[in-house]
Amino acid sequence: MVKETEIKLRITPQAAQALRNHPLVIERLAGEWHTGTLYNQYFDTAERELASARVALRVRRDGEQFIQTLKSKGQSVAGLSERNEWDWPVSAQALDLTLLDDGCWPASLAKLDKLLLQPVFTTDFERTKAILRWQRDDEQVEVEMALDQGEVAADGRNEPISELELELRAGPAAALLELAVALAADVPLMPCDISKAERGYRLYDPASYDLQLDAHPWSATTSVDEVVTAGGWQLLGHTQRLAEQYRFSGQWRLFRDLTGLLVNLRAFFGVFDLAVPRSSQSFGPALDALLQQFRPLVLAGWADDEEGQQAREQAPQVFEASVNDPAWGQLFLSLALWLHQASWKANRPPRGDRVGALPLPRWLLAAVAREIQELRVPHQNEADSEVAVWLDQQPRLHRLSFLLSGFREFLDVPQPDRLYGELNKLQALLEQYPLVDEEVQPALLAALRKQGQKIRKLDAWRELNG
């Protein structure tokens, strides 16, 4: 058994040649490029029991060789994945069930009758690969760089494969991310948290691709630094998986959900105060640029009219242009590296270290109170012209939504669920205001004032302002 650590990145066919000619690749190239065709047959039961257990089983033909491979479930975020893998040479492109013993076979599948395993889909692609070597500090790094072009076929349906895989052979995982970030500065790279096996299963059932990572078990003893780490990975992973599924299906709902997650990711960088010094991250402008493209489409797309239809139809083109811009890969790969290396802790002042060590409930109460005390909610006695001030409160409402959506069970105030719900209603009304016709605006202003009054009457609001 080996532990496979790799980054998978979606590329265009045109980008493959650009990557081969990239100065950094040429500088680190150790030997020649080799090209070969790989034919892969995947196996499962008719009920897809291996897929349910997050296990992939295949037989690959590589030239004259046949290799049987079992891969166990792993974690994949921003294209970086780690999982256990077992390889065995076999004599033909058929399963050798005797190799699937207790040493590798998952305990969750112990009762499965292996005779029920059958071919389910194929992945056939041409792989062009080479070894890259370089020194990182005092350590040698070795990475296999592979460019894959082909298709996955299942049940009469197929999907093209066009990927860059960077597999770590020696050195730290951070070196993979550093390499990917450097390449993404010049070539469009889309972090791709989906394996070729998952693509095959998705052709049978688009809903089979999990959009979220396993939830982190928050507790009253969770520290702020753990919230940054685990919360950041959750947001990043969910964002990238939604982006992949929207690219595949084009469903408007997924574009809305993706935009909402980008809003949460932007809010994420505004809530930690000294625990995450602004000097340690620079992701805000890049996220703002994406949101300036996506959010107007989402807001307009709610309308059941010609303008709403145009927004929904325009979204796939806007999304495609975004993921084909190097800025997409640069942003999300840099964020993955930032999280992997816990870069916010570097050169952090002592007070920041103290904030980072605070338990979740204590920090959360202070963070929510700070936002609430600065929040300008609509008031009955304010002039209509104050709507501009109310609209400017939306980033603060986004930060409150991030804090309350994920952690309100740890907020020691009366009825935190109600506080969360009423603030969300205020946010929804503010989002509508720039979109409605002028004759509708007075009624919406009245609704905003009424909602502001309702929020100020909440016990949680009063306690947090006390």
The model's pLDDT over 418-462, given as tens digits with 9 standing for 90+, comes to 999 999 999 999 999 998 889 999 999 999 999 999 999 999 999
Phi-psi map region of 251: left, alpha, beta (phi>0 left; psi -120 to 50 alpha): beta
pLDDT of residue 72: 81
What is the structure's pLDDT at 214? 79
Averaged confidence pLDDT in the chain: 93
pLDDT of residue 78: 55
Lowest average pLDDT, out of 66-80, 171-185, 348-362, 374-388, goes to 66-80
Query: Residue 220: what pLDDT?
Result: 96
pLDDT of residue 57: 94
- Per the listing, tokens 């370089």 go with 134
**For residues 1 and 185, is the Cβ–Cβ distance under 8 A?**
no
Tell whether the model's pLDDT for residue 333 goes beyond 70. yes
- 294-303 confidence digits (pLDDT tens): 999 999 999 8
What pLDDT digit, counting tens, does each position of 342-373 carry?
999 998 999 999 999 999 999 999 999 999 99
CB atoms near residue 306 (< 10 Å): 8
For position 393, what pLDDT does the model report? 94
pTM: 0.90
Question: Where does 1-208 sit in CATH, by number?
Answer: 2.40.320.10
Task: Quote the pLDDT of residue 66.
Answer: 94
Q: Which residues contact 150 (CB under 8 A, 6 or more apart)?
A: 37, 38, 123, 124, 125, 126, 160, 161
